[in-house]
Amino acid sequence: MGRNKELRVMVSESVADEFDRLKTRTNRNDSEIVNDALLSYLREVRRNELFETMKIGYENMGDLNLRIAEMEFQAEQNGLESYEMSLVSGRD
């Protein structure tokens, strides 16, 4: 895990009271609870950042995907029209 670093933080009295109740319920010390809470928070922030990056990527690719789909659709339509014309004219 590496070396430990001391952090000093100020929290509201209500948060401190809730924290003290949590320590009592879980029989864990301040460092364990704060370390786990910070790790959980940091994972959540990274996950949200990744989702936001993915969202932007999908939005940016949306226009390109639509253009490709429209081109493919038009190509299929042209092929279908050619096939129908060959059936009408009796050519294979």
Specify the pLDDT at position 85.
Answer: 87
Residue-level pLDDT at 92: 58
How long is the chain?
92
Question: For position 1, what pLDDT does the model report?
Answer: 60
CA–CA separation, 40 and 45 (whole Å): 9
What is the reported pLDDT for 89?
85
Q: Which residues of the chain have pLDDT under 70?
A: 1, 91-92
Q: What gap in Å lies between CA 48 and CA 43, rounded to an integer?
A: 9
Q: Report d(CA 30, CA 35) in Å as an integer.
A: 8
pTM: 0.60
